[in-house]
Chains A and B, each alone.
Chain A
Protein backbone atom coordinates (compact mmCIF):
# COMPACT_ATOMS: atom_id res chain seq x y z
CA UNK A 1 0.00 0.00 0.00
CA UNK A 2 1.42 3.41 -0.94
CA UNK A 3 1.73 6.11 1.73
CA UNK A 4 -1.15 7.93 0.08
CA UNK A 5 -3.36 4.85 0.09
CA UNK A 6 -2.63 4.28 3.78
CA UNK A 7 -3.95 7.81 4.42
CA UNK A 8 -6.93 7.53 2.10
CA UNK A 9 -8.05 4.00 3.01
CA UNK A 10 -10.95 2.64 1.03
CA UNK A 11 -13.08 2.85 4.18
CA UNK A 12 -12.37 6.58 4.39
CA UNK A 13 -13.09 7.29 0.73
CA UNK A 14 -16.38 5.39 0.98
CA UNK A 15 -17.49 7.24 4.11
CA UNK A 16 -16.47 10.56 2.49
CA UNK A 17 -19.05 9.86 -0.20
CA UNK A 18 -21.81 8.20 1.80
CA UNK A 19 -21.68 10.74 4.68
CA UNK A 20 -23.69 8.93 7.31
CA UNK A 21 -25.72 11.35 9.44
CA UNK A 22 -25.20 14.30 7.13
CA UNK A 23 -28.87 15.22 7.10
CA UNK A 24 -28.97 18.09 9.59
CA UNK A 25 -30.73 20.98 7.84
CA UNK A 26 -28.29 23.74 6.92
CA UNK A 27 -30.64 26.22 8.60
CA UNK A 28 -30.91 24.28 11.88
CA UNK A 29 -31.32 26.80 14.72
CA UNK A 30 -28.08 27.45 16.60
CA UNK A 31 -29.62 26.41 19.93
CA UNK A 32 -31.98 23.50 19.39
CA UNK A 33 -33.70 24.14 22.74
CA UNK A 34 -34.84 20.55 23.10
CA UNK A 35 -33.97 18.62 26.26
CA UNK A 36 -31.25 16.04 25.66
CA UNK A 37 -30.02 17.72 22.49
CA UNK A 38 -26.73 19.52 22.07
CA UNK A 39 -25.30 21.25 19.03
CA UNK A 40 -21.86 22.56 18.17
CA UNK A 41 -20.36 24.47 15.27
CA UNK A 42 -16.65 24.09 14.59
CA UNK A 43 -14.46 25.85 12.05
CA UNK A 44 -10.98 24.99 10.84
CA UNK A 45 -9.55 28.47 10.21
CA UNK A 46 -6.67 27.06 8.16
CA UNK A 47 -8.90 25.88 5.34
CA UNK A 48 -12.29 27.36 6.15
CA UNK A 49 -13.87 23.92 6.60
CA UNK A 50 -16.81 23.84 8.98
CA UNK A 51 -19.27 21.50 10.55
CA UNK A 52 -22.44 21.87 12.58
CA UNK A 53 -23.18 18.72 14.53
CA UNK A 54 -26.09 17.75 16.76
CA UNK A 55 -26.16 14.99 19.39
CA UNK A 56 -29.60 13.71 20.47
CA UNK A 57 -29.90 11.61 23.61
CA UNK A 58 -32.83 9.35 24.35
CA UNK A 59 -33.21 7.29 27.50
CA UNK A 60 -29.54 7.56 28.50
CA UNK A 61 -28.00 6.72 25.15
CA UNK A 62 -27.19 8.50 21.90
CA UNK A 63 -30.16 8.27 19.61
CA UNK A 64 -28.63 10.13 16.68
CA UNK A 65 -25.72 12.28 15.58
CA UNK A 66 -26.69 14.52 12.69
CA UNK A 67 -24.54 17.08 10.98
CA UNK A 68 -23.94 19.23 7.97
CA UNK A 69 -20.59 20.43 6.85
CA UNK A 70 -18.19 21.25 4.09
CA UNK A 71 -14.69 19.85 4.02
CA UNK A 72 -12.08 17.46 2.74
CA UNK A 73 -12.45 13.69 2.42
CA UNK A 74 -10.78 13.16 5.80
CA UNK A 75 -13.08 15.53 7.70
CA UNK A 76 -16.28 14.34 5.98
CA UNK A 77 -15.41 10.66 6.42
CA UNK A 78 -14.51 11.26 10.05
CA UNK A 79 -17.90 12.86 10.73
CA UNK A 80 -19.63 9.99 8.96
CA UNK A 81 -17.79 7.28 10.91
CA UNK A 82 -18.36 9.12 14.18
CA UNK A 83 -22.09 9.43 13.56
CA UNK A 84 -22.45 5.73 12.84
CA UNK A 85 -20.27 4.74 15.77
CA UNK A 86 -22.01 6.95 18.32
CA UNK A 87 -25.52 5.57 17.86
CA UNK A 88 -26.73 3.58 20.84
CA UNK A 89 -23.72 4.36 23.00
CA UNK A 90 -24.07 5.86 26.46
CA UNK A 91 -22.41 9.27 26.95
CA UNK A 92 -19.69 7.61 29.06
CA UNK A 93 -19.00 5.00 26.35
CA UNK A 94 -18.84 7.66 23.65
CA UNK A 95 -16.46 9.82 25.69
CA UNK A 96 -14.22 6.78 26.10
CA UNK A 97 -14.17 6.30 22.32
CA UNK A 98 -13.43 10.01 21.87
CA UNK A 99 -10.47 9.79 24.25
CA UNK A 100 -9.10 6.78 22.42
CA UNK A 101 -9.52 8.50 19.03
CA UNK A 102 -7.78 11.63 20.25
CA UNK A 103 -4.88 9.60 21.66
CA UNK A 104 -4.38 7.85 18.32
CA UNK A 105 -4.62 11.12 16.37
CA UNK A 106 -1.95 12.73 18.53
CA UNK A 107 0.41 9.76 18.31
CA UNK A 108 2.09 10.57 14.95
CA UNK A 109 1.54 6.96 13.96
CA UNK A 110 3.11 5.53 17.11
CA UNK A 111 -0.04 4.26 18.85
CA UNK A 112 -1.83 1.29 17.35
CA UNK A 113 -5.59 1.85 17.41
CA UNK A 114 -7.82 -0.35 19.58
CA UNK A 115 -10.00 -1.71 16.79
CA UNK A 116 -12.56 -3.20 19.17
CA UNK A 117 -13.16 0.20 20.73
CA UNK A 118 -12.77 2.41 17.64
CA UNK A 119 -14.38 0.24 14.94
CA UNK A 120 -14.23 1.97 11.54
CA UNK A 121 -12.57 4.97 13.21
CA UNK A 122 -9.40 2.88 13.52
CA UNK A 123 -8.92 3.50 9.78
CA UNK A 124 -7.91 7.06 10.64
CA UNK A 125 -4.71 5.92 12.38
CA UNK A 126 -2.85 6.69 9.14
CA UNK A 127 -3.93 10.34 9.36
CA UNK A 128 -1.89 10.78 12.54
CA UNK A 129 1.29 10.58 10.45
CA UNK A 130 0.20 13.77 8.65
CA UNK A 131 0.16 16.48 11.32
CA UNK A 132 -1.36 18.99 8.87
CA UNK A 133 -4.40 16.72 8.48
CA UNK A 134 -5.07 15.76 12.10
CA UNK A 135 -7.29 18.82 12.53
CA UNK A 136 -9.38 17.65 9.57
CA UNK A 137 -10.04 14.32 11.27
CA UNK A 138 -10.65 15.91 14.67
CA UNK A 139 -13.10 18.63 13.55
CA UNK A 140 -16.27 16.57 13.93
CA UNK A 141 -15.03 14.88 17.12
CA UNK A 142 -14.43 18.24 18.77
CA UNK A 143 -17.93 19.27 17.73
CA UNK A 144 -19.39 15.99 19.00
CA UNK A 145 -17.71 16.23 22.39
CA UNK A 146 -19.02 19.77 22.84
CA UNK A 147 -22.53 18.79 21.67
CA UNK A 148 -22.55 15.67 23.85
CA UNK A 149 -21.72 17.64 27.00
CA UNK A 150 -24.52 20.09 26.21
CA UNK A 151 -26.92 17.22 25.55
CA UNK A 152 -26.05 15.58 28.86
CA UNK A 153 -26.45 18.84 30.77
CA UNK A 154 -29.95 19.44 29.35
CA UNK A 155 -31.19 15.83 29.50
Chain B
Protein backbone atom coordinates (compact mmCIF):
# COMPACT_ATOMS: atom_id res chain seq x y z
CA UNK B 1 0.00 0.00 0.00
CA UNK B 2 1.45 3.39 -0.95
CA UNK B 3 0.23 4.94 2.27
CA UNK B 4 1.88 5.69 5.56
CA UNK B 5 0.92 6.54 9.09
CA UNK B 6 1.66 9.95 10.56
CA UNK B 7 5.11 9.81 12.18
CA UNK B 8 3.81 9.97 15.76
CA UNK B 9 1.91 6.71 15.23
CA UNK B 10 4.72 4.84 13.53
CA UNK B 11 6.49 2.25 15.61
CA UNK B 12 10.17 3.16 15.25
CA UNK B 13 12.21 0.27 13.96
CA UNK B 14 9.46 -2.29 14.64
CA UNK B 15 10.44 -5.71 13.45
CA UNK B 16 7.84 -7.96 11.87
CA UNK B 17 5.44 -9.59 14.30
CA UNK B 18 6.19 -13.14 15.36
CA UNK B 19 4.15 -15.79 17.11
CA UNK B 20 6.11 -15.01 20.30
CA UNK B 21 5.11 -11.35 20.12
CA UNK B 22 1.51 -12.23 19.25
CA UNK B 23 1.37 -14.41 22.38
CA UNK B 24 2.44 -11.36 24.38
CA UNK B 25 -0.19 -9.25 22.60
CA UNK B 26 -2.84 -11.83 23.49
CA UNK B 27 -2.17 -11.20 27.17
CA UNK B 28 -3.67 -7.74 26.68
CA UNK B 29 -7.02 -9.26 25.57
CA UNK B 30 -8.89 -10.78 28.53
CA UNK B 31 -11.67 -12.36 26.46
CA UNK B 32 -9.28 -14.55 24.47
CA UNK B 33 -8.31 -16.58 27.54
CA UNK B 34 -11.33 -18.79 27.95
CA UNK B 35 -12.60 -22.24 27.10
CA UNK B 36 -15.47 -22.57 24.65
CA UNK B 37 -17.13 -25.96 24.44
CA UNK B 38 -14.22 -27.46 26.38
CA UNK B 39 -11.63 -26.12 23.95
CA UNK B 40 -9.45 -22.99 24.15
CA UNK B 41 -11.23 -20.23 22.22
CA UNK B 42 -9.89 -19.71 18.70
CA UNK B 43 -11.42 -16.39 17.70
CA UNK B 44 -11.46 -16.01 13.92
CA UNK B 45 -14.37 -13.60 13.54
CA UNK B 46 -12.66 -10.23 13.88
CA UNK B 47 -13.96 -9.19 10.47
CA UNK B 48 -17.38 -9.08 12.13
CA UNK B 49 -16.35 -7.78 15.55
CA UNK B 50 -12.88 -7.53 17.01
CA UNK B 51 -11.95 -7.96 20.66
CA UNK B 52 -10.68 -5.19 22.92
CA UNK B 53 -7.46 -4.95 24.92
CA UNK B 54 -7.64 -3.99 28.60
CA UNK B 55 -6.47 -0.46 27.81
CA UNK B 56 -9.65 0.12 25.76
CA UNK B 57 -11.92 -1.36 28.42
CA UNK B 58 -10.19 0.69 31.10
CA UNK B 59 -10.43 3.91 29.07
CA UNK B 60 -14.21 3.56 28.86
CA UNK B 61 -14.51 2.72 32.54
CA UNK B 62 -12.17 5.55 33.54
CA UNK B 63 -14.27 7.97 31.52
CA UNK B 64 -17.44 6.96 33.38
CA UNK B 65 -15.71 6.89 36.77
CA UNK B 66 -13.88 10.21 36.45
CA UNK B 67 -15.18 12.50 33.71
CA UNK B 68 -18.68 11.62 32.55
CA UNK B 69 -20.74 14.70 31.63
CA UNK B 70 -22.56 16.29 28.71
CA UNK B 71 -20.10 17.61 26.12
CA UNK B 72 -20.14 20.99 24.36
CA UNK B 73 -22.57 22.45 26.90
CA UNK B 74 -22.39 23.32 30.57
CA UNK B 75 -19.62 25.23 32.24
CA UNK B 76 -18.81 22.94 35.13
CA UNK B 77 -15.50 21.19 35.49
CA UNK B 78 -16.65 17.72 34.52
CA UNK B 79 -18.33 19.09 31.39
CA UNK B 80 -15.05 20.70 30.37
CA UNK B 81 -13.09 17.51 31.06
CA UNK B 82 -15.59 15.37 29.18
CA UNK B 83 -15.48 17.74 26.23
CA UNK B 84 -11.67 17.66 26.24
CA UNK B 85 -11.65 13.85 26.32
CA UNK B 86 -14.21 13.70 23.50
CA UNK B 87 -12.34 16.15 21.28
CA UNK B 88 -8.93 14.63 22.11
CA UNK B 89 -10.37 11.32 20.91
CA UNK B 90 -11.39 12.97 17.65
CA UNK B 91 -7.87 14.33 17.19
CA UNK B 92 -6.35 10.91 17.87
CA UNK B 93 -8.60 9.12 15.39
CA UNK B 94 -8.05 11.89 12.82
CA UNK B 95 -4.29 11.53 13.18
CA UNK B 96 -4.54 7.77 12.76
CA UNK B 97 -5.88 8.17 9.20
CA UNK B 98 -4.03 11.36 8.30
CA UNK B 99 -7.08 13.65 8.53
CA UNK B 100 -7.69 16.96 10.30
CA UNK B 101 -9.79 16.99 13.49
CA UNK B 102 -12.70 18.83 11.91
CA UNK B 103 -12.86 16.22 9.14
CA UNK B 104 -13.98 13.46 11.55
CA UNK B 105 -17.69 12.92 12.27
CA UNK B 106 -18.87 10.42 14.86
CA UNK B 107 -21.78 8.16 13.97
CA UNK B 108 -23.38 5.14 15.62
CA UNK B 109 -21.65 2.70 13.26
CA UNK B 110 -20.35 2.51 9.70
CA UNK B 111 -23.85 1.83 8.36
CA UNK B 112 -24.93 5.05 10.06
CA UNK B 113 -22.04 6.82 8.35
CA UNK B 114 -22.94 5.63 4.87
CA UNK B 115 -26.58 6.53 5.48
CA UNK B 116 -25.49 9.96 6.72
CA UNK B 117 -23.78 10.58 3.38
CA UNK B 118 -26.61 9.15 1.27
CA UNK B 119 -29.23 11.19 3.14
CA UNK B 120 -27.10 14.34 3.01
CA UNK B 121 -26.94 13.94 -0.78
CA UNK B 122 -30.67 13.26 -0.72
CA UNK B 123 -31.33 16.45 1.22
CA UNK B 124 -29.22 18.38 -1.30
CA UNK B 125 -31.36 16.86 -4.06
CA UNK B 126 -34.79 17.75 -2.70
CA UNK B 127 -34.19 21.48 -2.45
CA UNK B 128 -31.48 23.99 -1.75
CA UNK B 129 -30.41 24.00 1.89
CA UNK B 130 -29.05 27.47 2.82
CA UNK B 131 -25.27 27.48 2.93
CA UNK B 132 -24.88 24.20 1.09
CA UNK B 133 -23.61 23.38 -2.37
CA UNK B 134 -25.49 22.13 -5.41
CA UNK B 135 -22.79 19.63 -6.36
CA UNK B 136 -24.30 17.07 -3.99
CA UNK B 137 -27.70 17.13 -5.71
CA UNK B 138 -28.71 14.11 -7.77
CA UNK B 139 -31.57 13.65 -10.18
CA UNK B 140 -32.69 11.72 -13.25
CA UNK B 141 -29.78 11.18 -15.62
CA UNK B 142 -27.22 11.13 -12.81
CA UNK B 143 -25.58 7.90 -11.72
CA UNK B 144 -24.26 6.40 -8.51
CA UNK B 145 -21.66 3.70 -9.04
CA UNK B 146 -20.81 0.91 -6.59
CA UNK B 147 -19.23 -2.52 -7.08
CA UNK B 148 -20.59 -6.05 -7.18
CA UNK B 149 -18.68 -6.96 -4.01
CA UNK B 150 -20.25 -4.39 -1.67
CA UNK B 151 -21.53 -5.09 1.82
CA UNK B 152 -25.26 -4.32 1.98
CA UNK B 153 -24.39 -1.21 4.03
CA UNK B 154 -22.64 0.26 0.99
CA UNK B 155 -25.36 -0.81 -1.42
CA UNK B 156 -28.83 -0.28 0.02
CA UNK B 157 -28.35 3.37 1.11
CA UNK B 158 -27.41 4.14 -2.53
CA UNK B 159 -30.35 2.09 -3.88
CA UNK B 160 -32.62 4.18 -1.70
CA UNK B 161 -30.91 7.44 -2.65
CA UNK B 162 -31.44 6.61 -6.32
CA UNK B 163 -35.06 5.65 -5.70
CA UNK B 164 -35.71 8.97 -3.98
CA UNK B 165 -33.89 11.15 -6.50
CA UNK B 166 -34.49 9.36 -9.80
CA UNK B 167 -30.77 8.78 -10.28
CA UNK B 168 -29.55 5.41 -11.59
CA UNK B 169 -27.47 2.90 -9.63
CA UNK B 170 -24.80 1.02 -11.56
CA UNK B 171 -22.12 -1.39 -10.44
CA UNK B 172 -18.64 -2.45 -11.46
CA UNK B 173 -18.66 -6.24 -11.93
CA UNK B 174 -16.00 -8.60 -10.60
CA UNK B 175 -13.94 -11.29 -12.30
CA UNK B 176 -14.13 -14.91 -11.22
CA UNK B 177 -11.04 -14.41 -9.03
CA UNK B 178 -12.88 -11.68 -7.14
CA UNK B 179 -10.95 -8.71 -8.48
CA UNK B 180 -12.75 -5.71 -9.95
CA UNK B 181 -13.02 -5.58 -13.73
CA UNK B 182 -11.18 -2.32 -14.23
CA UNK B 183 -11.95 -2.14 -17.97
CA UNK B 184 -15.62 -2.09 -16.93
CA UNK B 185 -14.86 0.60 -14.34
CA UNK B 186 -13.32 2.72 -17.11
CA UNK B 187 -16.44 2.27 -19.21
CA UNK B 188 -18.87 2.92 -16.36
CA UNK B 189 -17.27 6.03 -14.81
CA UNK B 190 -18.56 8.84 -17.01
CA UNK B 191 -19.70 12.44 -16.76
CA UNK B 192 -23.04 11.10 -15.48
CA UNK B 193 -21.36 9.52 -12.43
CA UNK B 194 -21.97 11.79 -9.44
CA UNK B 195 -20.83 9.38 -6.71
CA UNK B 196 -18.46 6.40 -6.77
CA UNK B 197 -18.71 4.40 -3.55
CA UNK B 198 -16.66 1.25 -3.12
CA UNK B 199 -15.06 -0.92 -0.49
CA UNK B 200 -11.34 -0.58 0.11
CA UNK B 201 -11.04 -4.25 1.14
CA UNK B 202 -13.77 -6.85 0.64
CA UNK B 203 -15.22 -8.46 3.78
CA UNK B 204 -15.78 -11.68 1.81
CA UNK B 205 -13.14 -11.89 -0.90
CA UNK B 206 -10.31 -10.29 1.03
CA UNK B 207 -9.20 -8.38 -2.07
CA UNK B 208 -7.77 -4.89 -1.68
CA UNK B 209 -9.22 -2.68 -4.39
CA UNK B 210 -6.96 -0.33 -6.39
CA UNK B 211 -8.06 2.95 -4.81
CA UNK B 212 -5.60 5.07 -6.81
CA UNK B 213 -6.90 3.78 -10.15
CA UNK B 214 -10.56 4.28 -9.23
CA UNK B 215 -9.96 7.72 -7.69
CA UNK B 216 -8.13 8.83 -10.83
CA UNK B 217 -11.06 7.72 -13.01
CA UNK B 218 -13.55 9.44 -10.69
CA UNK B 219 -11.54 12.66 -10.59
CA UNK B 220 -11.37 12.77 -14.37
CA UNK B 221 -15.16 12.37 -14.49
CA UNK B 222 -15.85 14.86 -11.67
CA UNK B 223 -17.43 12.25 -9.41
CA UNK B 224 -17.27 12.26 -5.61
CA UNK B 225 -15.52 9.25 -4.07
CA UNK B 226 -16.81 7.46 -0.95
CA UNK B 227 -14.57 4.73 0.49
CA UNK B 228 -15.96 1.95 2.68
CA UNK B 229 -12.90 1.49 4.86
CA UNK B 230 -14.43 -0.92 7.40
CA UNK B 231 -12.04 -3.74 6.52
CA UNK B 232 -9.02 -1.56 5.72
CA UNK B 233 -8.59 1.00 8.51
CA UNK B 234 -8.46 -1.73 11.21
CA UNK B 235 -5.94 -3.84 9.30
CA UNK B 236 -3.84 -1.71 6.93
CA UNK B 237 -1.99 1.59 7.21
CA UNK B 238 -4.53 4.03 5.73
CA UNK B 239 -3.91 7.69 5.00
CA UNK B 240 -7.00 9.31 3.52
CA UNK B 241 -5.00 12.21 2.09
CA UNK B 242 -2.64 9.89 0.23
CA UNK B 243 -5.63 7.92 -1.03
CA UNK B 244 -7.25 11.23 -2.04
CA UNK B 245 -10.82 10.07 -1.38
CA UNK B 246 -13.58 12.59 -0.61
CA UNK B 247 -15.24 10.56 2.14
CA UNK B 248 -14.34 7.42 4.07
CA UNK B 249 -16.38 5.43 6.56
CA UNK B 250 -15.31 2.90 9.17
CA UNK B 251 -16.42 1.28 12.37
CA UNK B 252 -15.03 1.25 15.93
CA UNK B 253 -15.87 -2.30 16.92
CA UNK B 254 -13.87 -3.78 14.06
CA UNK B 255 -10.66 -2.05 15.24
CA UNK B 256 -10.39 -3.09 18.91
CA UNK B 257 -12.90 -0.42 19.95
CA UNK B 258 -16.41 -0.59 21.39
CA UNK B 259 -19.69 -1.01 19.55
CA UNK B 260 -21.90 2.03 19.08
CA UNK B 261 -19.38 4.23 17.29
CA UNK B 262 -18.50 4.72 13.65
CA UNK B 263 -16.51 7.36 11.82
CA UNK B 264 -17.11 9.42 8.70
CA UNK B 265 -14.12 11.21 7.24
CA UNK B 266 -14.89 14.00 4.80
CA UNK B 267 -12.69 16.59 3.14
CA UNK B 268 -13.24 19.83 5.05
CA UNK B 269 -14.33 21.94 2.09
CA UNK B 270 -16.97 19.33 1.24
CA UNK B 271 -18.27 18.81 4.79
CA UNK B 272 -18.87 22.50 5.26
CA UNK B 273 -21.15 22.71 2.22
CA UNK B 274 -22.87 19.33 2.66
CA UNK B 275 -26.43 19.54 4.03
CA UNK B 276 -26.94 17.93 7.43
CA UNK B 277 -28.72 14.59 7.81
CA UNK B 278 -29.93 14.42 11.42
CA UNK B 279 -30.95 17.77 12.84
CA UNK B 280 -31.66 18.96 16.37
CA UNK B 281 -29.63 19.94 19.42
CA UNK B 282 -25.89 20.70 19.39
CA UNK B 283 -25.60 21.26 15.63
CA UNK B 284 -26.96 24.81 15.30
CA UNK B 285 -25.93 28.43 15.69
CA UNK B 286 -29.21 30.38 15.69
CA UNK B 287 -32.72 28.96 15.83
CA UNK B 288 -36.05 30.73 15.37
CA UNK B 289 -39.50 29.20 15.25
CA UNK B 290 -39.21 29.23 11.45
CA UNK B 291 -35.65 28.08 10.71
CA UNK B 292 -32.16 27.31 11.91
CA UNK B 293 -28.57 27.95 10.92
CA UNK B 294 -25.99 25.24 11.30
CA UNK B 295 -22.54 24.96 12.85
CA UNK B 296 -19.59 24.04 10.64
CA UNK B 297 -18.43 20.43 10.46
CA UNK B 298 -18.13 18.26 12.37
CA UNK B 299 -20.81 19.59 14.76
CA UNK B 300 -23.35 20.16 11.98
CA UNK B 301 -23.47 16.35 11.57
CA UNK B 302 -23.57 15.51 15.27
CA UNK B 303 -27.11 16.25 16.43
CA UNK B 304 -28.04 15.00 19.87
CA UNK B 305 -25.94 13.31 22.53
CA UNK B 306 -22.92 11.64 20.99
CA UNK B 307 -21.16 8.31 21.73
CA UNK B 308 -18.72 9.98 24.11
CA UNK B 309 -17.35 7.06 26.12
CA UNK B 310 -17.14 5.07 22.90
CA UNK B 311 -15.06 7.83 21.27
CA UNK B 312 -12.72 7.87 24.27
CA UNK B 313 -12.38 4.08 24.08
CA UNK B 314 -11.89 4.14 20.31
CA UNK B 315 -9.02 6.59 20.78
CA UNK B 316 -7.45 4.09 23.21
CA UNK B 317 -7.88 1.39 20.55
CA UNK B 318 -6.19 3.59 17.96
CA UNK B 319 -3.30 4.21 20.34
CA UNK B 320 -2.94 0.46 20.86
CA UNK B 321 -2.88 -0.14 17.10
CA UNK B 322 -0.48 2.75 16.56
CA UNK B 323 1.90 1.58 19.25
CA UNK B 324 1.92 -1.93 17.80
CA UNK B 325 2.39 -0.47 14.32
CA UNK B 326 -0.02 -0.76 11.41
CA UNK B 327 2.74 -1.81 9.01
CA UNK B 328 3.61 -4.70 11.29
CA UNK B 329 -0.03 -5.63 11.83
CA UNK B 330 -0.82 -5.65 8.12
CA UNK B 331 2.30 -7.70 7.34
CA UNK B 332 1.38 -10.28 10.01
CA UNK B 333 -2.20 -10.53 8.83
CA UNK B 334 -1.10 -10.87 5.22
CA UNK B 335 0.96 -13.86 6.35
CA UNK B 336 -2.03 -15.33 8.20
CA UNK B 337 -4.24 -14.69 5.14
CA UNK B 338 -1.82 -16.54 2.87
CA UNK B 339 -1.61 -19.39 5.36
CA UNK B 340 -5.41 -19.60 5.43
CA UNK B 341 -5.71 -19.71 1.64
CA UNK B 342 -2.87 -22.18 1.26
CA UNK B 343 -4.27 -24.50 3.92
CA UNK B 344 -7.94 -24.30 2.96
CA UNK B 345 -7.49 -24.57 -0.80
CA UNK B 346 -5.37 -27.68 -0.24
CA UNK B 347 -8.38 -29.47 1.29
CA UNK B 348 -10.54 -31.77 -0.80
CA UNK B 349 -13.90 -30.17 -1.64
CA UNK B 350 -13.05 -26.73 -0.20
CA UNK B 351 -13.25 -23.69 -2.47
CA UNK B 352 -11.73 -20.42 -1.24
CA UNK B 353 -13.54 -17.33 -2.54
CA UNK B 354 -11.50 -14.54 -4.04
CA UNK B 355 -7.81 -14.37 -4.89
CA UNK B 356 -5.82 -17.60 -4.84
CA UNK B 357 -2.61 -18.56 -3.10
CA UNK B 358 0.11 -15.94 -3.44
CA UNK B 359 -2.25 -13.19 -4.58
CA UNK B 360 -2.69 -10.15 -2.35
CA UNK B 361 -5.44 -10.35 0.26
CA UNK B 362 -6.14 -9.14 3.79
CA UNK B 363 -6.04 -11.66 6.63
CA UNK B 364 -9.35 -13.34 5.99
CA UNK B 365 -10.72 -16.10 3.81
CA UNK B 366 -14.30 -17.07 3.02
CA UNK B 367 -14.83 -20.55 1.68
CA UNK B 368 -17.39 -23.09 0.54
CA UNK B 369 -17.30 -26.71 1.67
CA UNK B 370 -18.85 -28.96 -0.99
CA UNK B 371 -21.91 -30.78 0.29
CA UNK B 372 -21.98 -29.03 3.68
CA UNK B 373 -23.94 -25.88 4.41
CA UNK B 374 -22.01 -23.00 5.99
CA UNK B 375 -24.18 -23.12 9.14
CA UNK B 376 -23.21 -26.73 9.67
CA UNK B 377 -19.54 -25.93 9.05
CA UNK B 378 -19.73 -23.14 11.64
CA UNK B 379 -21.50 -25.39 14.14
CA UNK B 380 -18.85 -28.07 13.73
CA UNK B 381 -16.05 -25.54 14.23
CA UNK B 382 -17.81 -24.02 17.26
CA UNK B 383 -17.90 -27.44 18.91
CA UNK B 384 -14.08 -27.22 18.83
CA UNK B 385 -14.00 -23.68 20.21
CA UNK B 386 -13.36 -22.09 16.81
CA UNK B 387 -15.46 -18.98 16.17
CA UNK B 388 -16.09 -18.09 12.51
CA UNK B 389 -18.78 -16.22 10.59
CA UNK B 390 -21.31 -18.15 8.50
CA UNK B 391 -23.98 -16.93 6.09
CA UNK B 392 -23.91 -14.32 3.33
CA UNK B 393 -21.85 -11.83 5.36
CA UNK B 394 -24.25 -9.05 4.32
CA UNK B 395 -23.22 -9.54 0.70
CA UNK B 396 -26.04 -11.45 -0.99
CA UNK B 397 -25.41 -10.15 -4.54
CA UNK B 398 -21.74 -11.13 -4.29
CA UNK B 399 -22.60 -14.65 -3.14
CA UNK B 400 -25.14 -14.97 -5.95
CA UNK B 401 -22.44 -13.88 -8.42
CA UNK B 402 -20.22 -16.66 -7.05
CA UNK B 403 -23.04 -19.21 -7.38
CA UNK B 404 -23.54 -19.52 -3.62
CA UNK B 405 -26.14 -18.64 -0.99
CA UNK B 406 -23.68 -18.55 1.89
CA UNK B 407 -20.12 -19.25 2.90
CA UNK B 408 -17.93 -19.68 5.97
CA UNK B 409 -15.44 -16.94 6.80
CA UNK B 410 -12.37 -17.02 9.01
CA UNK B 411 -10.97 -13.55 9.70
CA UNK B 412 -7.82 -12.79 11.67
CA UNK B 413 -6.40 -9.88 13.60
CA UNK B 414 -3.16 -8.95 15.31
CA UNK B 415 -3.89 -11.38 18.17
CA UNK B 416 -4.17 -14.53 16.05
CA UNK B 417 -1.34 -17.04 15.79
CA UNK B 418 -0.30 -19.30 12.94
CA UNK B 419 -1.26 -22.22 15.21
CA UNK B 420 -4.84 -20.98 15.31
CA UNK B 421 -4.97 -20.82 11.51
CA UNK B 422 -3.60 -24.37 11.37
CA UNK B 423 -6.24 -25.55 13.88
CA UNK B 424 -8.97 -24.08 11.72
CA UNK B 425 -7.60 -25.71 8.58
CA UNK B 426 -7.33 -29.07 10.30
CA UNK B 427 -10.88 -28.84 11.63
CA UNK B 428 -12.30 -27.80 8.25
CA UNK B 429 -10.53 -30.81 6.80
CA UNK B 430 -12.72 -33.05 8.99
CA UNK B 431 -16.05 -31.36 8.26
CA UNK B 432 -17.03 -33.28 5.14
CA UNK B 433 -16.32 -36.60 6.80
CA UNK B 434 -18.50 -35.72 9.78
CA UNK B 435 -21.45 -34.79 7.59
CA UNK B 436 -20.96 -37.70 5.22
CA UNK B 437 -20.25 -35.41 2.28
CA UNK B 438 -17.05 -37.08 1.12
CA UNK B 439 -18.76 -38.54 -1.91
CA UNK B 440 -18.94 -35.04 -3.38
CA UNK B 441 -22.73 -35.14 -3.63
CA UNK B 442 -24.27 -31.71 -3.26
Contacts and interface: CB of A to CB of B under 8 A. Distances in A.
B375 A47 contact: yes
Given A47-B392, A47-B406, A48-B406, A3 B375 contact: no
B390 interface: yes
Interface residues of B, number: 20
Interface in A103-140: 130, 133, 136
B373 A3 contact: no
A42 B436 CA distance: 27
A76 to B, nearest CB: 8
A122 B390 CA distance: 27
B375 A2 contact: no
A130 B379 contact: yes
B376 interface: yes
Contacts of A49: 373, 375, 405-406
A74 interface: yes
A130 B441 CA distance: 27
A13 B380 contact: no
Contacts of A1: none
A7 interface: yes
Interface in B345-391: 372-376, 379-380, 383, 390-391
- Could you say which interface size class chain A belongs to? 20 to 34
Interface stretch (A22-30, A32-40, A65-73, A147-155): A65-73
B64 interface: no
Interface in B395-442: 396, 399, 405-406, 434-436, 441
A7 B375 CA distance: 13
Contacts of B374: 47, 72
Contact of B396 (A4, A48, A70, A136): A48
Nearest to B392: A48
B380 to A, nearest CB: 7
Given A47-B392, A48-B396, A71 B379 contact: no
Nearest to B373: A72
Contact of B379 (A7, A17, A70, A76): A7
A92 interface: no
A71 B373 contact: yes
A48 B435 contact: no
A2 B382 CA distance: 13
B37 interface: yes
Interface of A: 2-4, 7-8, 13, 16-17, 46-49, 70-74, 76, 130, 133, 136
